[in-house]
Chains A and B, each alone.
Chain A
Amino acid sequence: MGNEDEGTTFDTIEPSEYIFQPVVREIEKDLSNDDEISCLATYQANLYIGTAKGRLLHYHKFEDADDYMIISQLQVSNNKAVQQILLFTSVEKALVLSGDKVAMYSLPEFSPLNIGKLKGITGMSKINRVNGDNKEGSETSLLWTKDKIRVISVTKQSIKLLKDINYSNTLACVSTLVENGKYVIAANESTYVILDLENIRQIPLFEHNSASGSDFTPQIIPFGSGDSTGQEFLLLVKSDQKSLMGMFMNANGEVTRGTLLWENTGYPSGTICIDSPYILALFKPDNSSYRIVTSSLVTLSEVKTQDLEHILTENQENDKREESEHEESQQDKPITDEPSSYYSLKEVECDLITKSSDLSKLLTQESIPSGSATQSCITIKSRLTLASKRSLLVATRYPTTILLAKRFCKLVANVSNVDAFSEIYNELKDLKQDNDDLASLSAQLQCFILIFIDQDKFLDMVTHIVEGKEGKKMLFDPLFVVHLMSGKDWLSTVKRSTTVFSMFTDIIQPIRDRLGNEKELKARYLFKVLKIVNEDPTIIDSDISDIIHYELYSKHLNTLEQVSITVVEDLNYWNGINFDNNIVKHLEENNVINLIEIYKTLLENLKQSPNKDKIAERLCSLCLSLISDTGKLARSYGKQENDVTKKKESLIDLTLHSLKKDIKDPKTYGKYLFEILKVTPQKGVTFIKNNRREEYKDIHKQIMNQINLKDESDSTALGLTHMKFEYAESVFIDDLKRFNDSSSLDVLDEFLGETLVRFTSKDLLNQKNLEVLHNLKCEYSSKREDIGAKSWPKINWVDFLLVKISQLEEKLFFELYAKIYELILIRCRFKTFALVEVKDDIEEKFENNANLQYLLFMSLDGSKKIEKLLEFSDYQNAEYAAIKDVLVFPAKTFYLPHISVKLPRNEGPTNNCIKKNLITIFKFYSENFVEDQRLLSIIHFLNNYEKHFTPLEALGMIPKDIPIIYLKEYLDRIFVDYNIKHTDILFHKAIGKADSKFMKKLSENHAKEDSI
């Protein structure tokens, strides 16, 4: 006790072992030299000590003080020992027996009341009121004299005598009030009896001292719950010369338990207390030192013996010395049954509170990993006192929690089964703890046990939230829990510390060993903490939160699904952190895939986060680092390089998805899109094509311009070039929808320029394509010669080409040809221009190729244009240009349908000009064609352009070798026309003549009338 070197150690504690601790350390100073403690009582925080010299010391325990302090001293009698202090707390009064007089005092200050004294009193006892009427303002008590037992009532103002019962030589007396009667258990010099106060009779029980001729002081010790069935009394019986027996009775005189025997112990006096489930008795066997024998109320057998030698502290050294002197003085006296009363055990009314060095030592907490110890100041409360003449101690059993902890530690060491742990847990969980340290010990112990018996409950417990002085906090330090579930050096690696009760330090490793590879349990714990912190980040310190997060994310998330679920529960954490934290750094080096999943989940779930752009950027960066490095990609997924195609595709998709959805910064967007294009142009351009939002237009354009084709023979570069054109075309088509006036011509010019670039790129404008074009041109021209058909001319060059494209393997070049043709046509409808305006080297590239030169015809002057077209055999276009001065749109157009506005009309050439153009064409037909072709073309010409010529002019133009009969259709038409005109003139003339004749006749008639 109290001695750290020799005190009780954790291993030696037994359930029935008591701690003894001094209550009033300075009591020695308060007692005069020859005075000693004779009795004591407690009320609230007050301790009243009566002395052998008739003094009464009043001590008080202030809340902020460690020790009881004396606040008053009172001389209650003149050198006569204070034998008993009886407190009546409901009326705040006390009766003090000194000598044979009883005086009344007021509580708690213990001031004397001048209401006189009761005399001739030999003992006092309170009546234990059980279910009886409890008159407010009074309490009843028994006082006994040599020949009477007096029942009195104590009120605030007075003492009233209620009843006097003649009963001689009362030595002990205890009374209980029950519903249907008042019973007093009393003892006279030989026998215990029950006194029935209602019926005024006595019922003998049994003798307490069968051995005649020896003194023995009977004792009646009440204990129990206080209800009508629970109140019990222990009655001491002298068995033989050196043995003592205890009988247990209730207030009705019924035996309630078996018999207790203390063999060869001698007889204690005033030194038996009951602290259920134990009975403590202080004995001093012959030639031995004092010892406290503890027996069980259940088994009625002795369970523990403690020598006072071992339980007294160094502070009681004086006591020991005095005790020796006392013994020496006793040796001269004859041996009697009167026991030594140097020490006494007593149960007081209210708890005494004092510090316990033993418990403080047992509840030492040790820092891990440093090993430094911290002791709290633990207080104990107890009603059980051990008083010597000049010292006062309280006695209390070691808290059950400590005993259970000890049991648990032994079980862990012995690898016991689960049932044994369950037993401890069941006992522990409902225990009420006296102080915070014991509560912590209990919690820590329960935590350990639950690891073995119920891991779900364990998780619930270690994540339990408690309301502390500074707000909510976790019942268990997360560092402690993780330490328990990690390697023993874990705390050192995170450079943190935690604490554990010293008594548990040795079992941490066995528990850890038992947990083995319970990684799932740790992961579940970390996940639960993370959820808690996500809901209320103030519950644990942010640096501990970081550690918990790091543990979980870096070591315990094994599948992408786990990562995703975790991040969804942890959004608040990620929303507010610096992305250069340890988790990210670790994952960047060790598990990029998980990090990508984290970013992905965050982007899917974070709403309006300022970090979203940053997260998306990091995601794209990580994805691209893998996409562009197949080796790294394979290593990250733990696969072979040839087995990651799908993974790569999904990463590309993820990057593009993020680019489209989350990246707002144009530069960043462009940067990553460009990277994607380098890796997968097809997906990149497809993405660009499908993502034609206005805000990206400039970026896309910029990216397209950045694509630099250093080596066009490279298939990737070629693909990219094509994609680039496709994109430009799709943008252009979009633009065409908004095409409205000449200010939009820039768009057209720009796209036309791009188309020309694409058309003239090496991969398209090559010998092979030119040969095909040449062949087609030959076919086109010859066909005209072979045609022999009924109509003329059938088809223009571009339409012919478009028809032929479907039969070609390489279509692109020819499609572009047709597209350029169409674009120039559209362009010319707005304004005259030359292709060099959009591409300066175009004429050089087309210079030596008549088939390509065709595309430049439409920018030539009228007559020149017609000549070239005629030379090219595109007679339809030549004739059309003769009339309209422009070329005809092909039957199939690529862009025209997308233009919502009507194209402006050309002014067109004058009639003279048209006539001149037509004559040029006619001359070409008649001079260059032969046979059927010549005939057909002339017939066609006359049939289509007759209106531009008079019949005479037309007939004059017809070569003389053409028989007139071939022109029958023309001639019929012009003659019918002539006949119609002639008939018309005849009609007019006839009408004129008739009209003139009529007028003449009318004039004649009129003249006649005038003459009459």
Chain B
Amino acid sequence: MSGRKKTLLKVIILGDSGVGKTSLMQQFVNNKFSHQYKATIGADFLTKEISIDNNKQVTLQIWDTAGQERFQSLGVAFYRGADCCVLCFDVTNEKSLNNLSSWKDEFLVQSNVSNPQDFPFIIIGNKIDVDDSKKIPSLQKKLSNITSNQLGGLNYPVFETSAKDAINVEQAFEVVAKMALQQEELNDINGGVDDDYNDAINIHLESDNYGCAC
């Protein structure tokens, strides 16, 4: 599939409902933060042009997806053609941490990426601005367990951020952009750019039936 301009890097943000996916995107793109929570419907995206690695200009198309389950059937439409996936959890919500693996698997299934083993992910633990008392006990240990698990573990870069106070957000998305660009370049080398439809199904054509049907 070649309709997309290749300097455009598609980034998908996944994670449980309420972990702050929309806030992270808004903070990074618009430098805004809203205290009001509003669940994302389906998905929405924002774009931001940034400069990475020797002033190479890239446009990040960041897709903020709905964490609610009812929208998950739409995932395939959003995930297709992604160059990087951000797995988000809330440092005060242990369940959201534990679900990271599910989100990763869901993404790999729905997106049909050609190199699931090497596809770039990044983990963001959001809301570090809250009191330590509210944070997940032994967070670092638990996080370490998740990321160091060699068998299907999430051995990816981890950033702890605060979308509210704009802590580490820029840095995290800079790494995201670099990883997405690498993935993009890898796709170019493998010739994968010509077709993003890895899930296509052949259909039967009644090729001899040409002519007037009258």
- Measured CB to CB, the residues of A under 8 A from B are 115-118, 148, 150, 152, 158-167, 178, 180, 194-196, 199-207, 210, 228, 237, 239-240, 245, 247, 249-255, 257-261, 300
A259 to B203, Cβ gap below 8 A? no
* Cβ–Cβ < 8 Å partners of A202 in chain B: 200-201, 203
Q: Which of B196-210 contact A (CB under 8 A)?
A: 197, 199-207, 209-210
* Cβ–Cβ < 8 Å partners of A166 in chain B: 203-206
* CB<8 Å pairs between A and B, sample of 14: A115-B214, A116-B214, A150-B213, A161-B212, A163-B207, A164-B205, A165-B206, A205-B77, A207-B73, A228-B3, A239-B70, A240-B70, A251-B3, A254-B4
Chain A: interface secondary structure?
strand
Give the docked Cα–Cα distance between A97 and B76 (Å).
Answer: 35
* Cβ–Cβ < 8 Å partners of B80 in chain A: 253-254
A160 to B197, Cβ gap below 8 A? no
Q: How many B residues, CB 8 Å from partner? A: 37
Q: Which of A117, A250, A259 has the most CB of B within 10 A?
A: A259
B210 to A161, Cβ gap below 8 A? yes
Residue from the list B73, B78, B203, B206 in contact with A255, Cβ < 8 A = B78
B71-115, CB under 8 A of A: which get 1 and which 0?
101111110110000000000000000000000000000000000
Interface status of B45 (Cβ within 8 A of chain A): yes
Residue from the list B41, B197, B206 in contact with A201, Cβ < 8 A = B197
Using CB atoms, name the residue of chain B closest to A256: B45
Q: Which of A205, A250, A251, A252 has the most CB of B within 10 A?
A: A252
Using CB atoms, name the residue of chain B closest to A261: B41
* Cβ–Cβ < 8 Å partners of A260 in chain B: 41
A201 to B209, Cβ gap below 8 A? no
A203 to B200, Cβ gap below 8 A? yes
* Cβ–Cβ < 8 Å partners of B3 in chain A: 178, 228, 250-252, 254
Q: Which of B75, B197, B210 has the most CB of A within 10 A?
A: B197
Interface status of B128 (Cβ within 8 A of chain A): no
A259 to B44, Cβ gap below 8 A? yes
A148 to B76, Cβ gap below 8 A? no
Residue from the list A167, A196, A249 in contact with B197, Cβ < 8 A = A196
Nearest 10 CB-CB pairings of A with B: A259-B42, A258-B44, A116-B214, A164-B206, A252-B3, A201-B200, A261-B41, A203-B197, A166-B204, A164-B209
Given contacts A163-B207, A196-B197, A257-B44, 12 further A-B contacts (CB under 8 A): A148-B206, A158-B212, A164-B205, A166-B203, A166-B205, A196-B200, A200-B202, A245-B41, A245-B74, A247-B77, A254-B4, A259-B74
A247 to B203, Cβ gap below 8 A? no
B1 to A252, Cβ gap below 8 A? yes
* Cβ–Cβ < 8 Å partners of A199 in chain B: 200
B77 to A249, Cβ gap below 8 A? yes
Interface status of B36 (Cβ within 8 A of chain A): no
Interface status of B211 (Cβ within 8 A of chain A): yes
Using CB atoms, name the residue of chain B closest to A207: B73
Give the docked Cα–Cα distance between A159 and B212 (Å).
Answer: 6
Give the docked Cα–Cα distance between A657 and B212 (Å).
Answer: 101
Using CB atoms, name the residue of chain A closest to B66: A259
Using CB atoms, name the residue of chain B closest to A194: B197
Q: Contacts A205-B76, A252-B1, A253-B77; is A258 near B43 (CB within 8 Å)?
A: yes
B8-46, CB under 8 A of A: which get 1 and which 0?
000000000000000000000000000000000111110
* Cβ–Cβ < 8 Å partners of A203 in chain B: 197, 199-201
Using CB atoms, name the residue of chain A closest to B1: A252
How far in angstroms is the closest Cβ of chain A from B3?
4
Using CB atoms, name the residue of chain B closest to A246: B42
* Cβ–Cβ < 8 Å partners of A249 in chain B: 77
How far in angstroms is the closest Cβ of chain A from B168?
26
A258 to B42, Cβ gap below 8 A? yes
* Cβ–Cβ < 8 Å partners of B150 in chain A: none
B41 to A259, Cβ gap below 8 A? yes
Q: Contacts A158-B212, A161-B210, A161-B211; is A206 near B74 (CB within 8 Å)?
A: yes
Give the docked Cα–Cα distance between A260 and B41 (Å).
Answer: 7
Give the docked Cα–Cα distance between A178 and B205 (Å).
Answer: 20
How far in angstroms is the closest Cβ of chain A from B81?
7
* Cβ–Cβ < 8 Å partners of A161 in chain B: 209-213
B73 to A158, Cβ gap below 8 A? no
Q: Which of B52-84 contact A (CB under 8 A)?
A: 63, 66, 70-71, 73-78, 80-81
* Cβ–Cβ < 8 Å partners of A118 in chain B: 213-214
How far in angstroms is the closest Cβ of chain A from B209?
5
Give the docked Cα–Cα distance between A750 and B48 (Å).
Answer: 109
How far in angstroms is the closest Cβ of chain A from B24?
16
Interface status of B133 (Cβ within 8 A of chain A): no
Give the docked Cα–Cα distance between A200 and B213 (Å).
Answer: 21
* Cβ–Cβ < 8 Å partners of A178 in chain B: 3
Give the docked Cα–Cα distance between A591 and B166 (Å).
Answer: 74
A261 to B203, Cβ gap below 8 A? no
* Cβ–Cβ < 8 Å partners of A201 in chain B: 197, 200-203
Using CB atoms, name the residue of chain B closest to A209: B73
Interface status of B2 (Cβ within 8 A of chain A): yes
* Cβ–Cβ < 8 Å partners of B2 in chain A: 180
Q: Which of B174-195 contact A (CB under 8 A)?
A: none
Residue from the list B43, B81, B206 in contact with A259, Cβ < 8 A = B43
Give the docked Cα–Cα distance between A237 and B212 (Å).
Answer: 36
* Cβ–Cβ < 8 Å partners of B197 in chain A: 194, 196, 201, 203, 253
Q: Contacts A164-B205, A165-B203; is A247 near B213 (CB within 8 Å)?
A: no
Residue from the list B1, B45, B75 in contact with A258, Cβ < 8 A = B45
Using CB atoms, name the residue of chain A closest to B214: A116
Give the docked Cα–Cα distance between A254 and B70 (Å).
Answer: 20
How far in angstroms is the closest Cβ of chain B from A220?
13
Give the docked Cα–Cα distance between A240 and B197 (Å).
Answer: 29
Q: Contacts A206-B73, A206-B77, A258-B45; is A159 near B200 (CB within 8 Å)?
A: no
